Structure 1
């Protein structure tokens, strides 16, 4: 088991989780698409008892069977959890301080998967710090482009 930390964008909600593997999955269901505004979301499934919150996330009852943890200050999605019957929950991979360790091992909700978004390796890419309009906005705000 490895102890990993994470939290929301603004830092209001923080957690530490005991992680037993690099396995993660992508959920493509319509509820996750609507909850995140994305075509899918990456989750790491962990035992509830292995997550320790410095500050509990706010929770939204997204359906009669589940709720989603998030930060009400910045809007960061943090969890998906069944209301009853499970000793596990899903943490959003992007909310980990270092999400690079995780690897997708499965897809869920594939009936709503948008296959065109799965393999984008051949598309051109631009680093944030190379995009001058963004660099200028950050400089005007008195900072550098965040990493």
Structure 2
């Protein structure tokens, strides 16, 4: 699977851990590359564009709360970014919303839990059916 990943300074450590955790996949790290202060849109937009343009199957974005990167990612018409802080939300985001970018709140979940959430997100399929009708109504 091809995965685009990016984070701001608050998500840097978690991004590094997830990149190592996902090494069996084809990963492109869009940054940041240190814990120095940066602006989350500078990473959310490139990851979102890459997923939207189908260069990557799915994306992962990480910031302190997950909110800033999710808000930014969801400005892209072809993106359905979901903030997930547990495995049930990750599963539902994929099954019911066909989410294509996982947003993680680095300041609120430990690395092990983030790995579990990520694994569920990457391995859960969209159910389609009545959910497809709803997903079709998302874009403006």
Asked whether the two chains share a fold, i.e. TM above 0.5, the reply is no
- Computing the radius of gyration from Cα coordinates, the structure with the larger value is 1
Compare the two structures and name the one with the higher helix fraction.
2
- Range into which the TM-score falls when normalised by the shorter chain: under 0.3
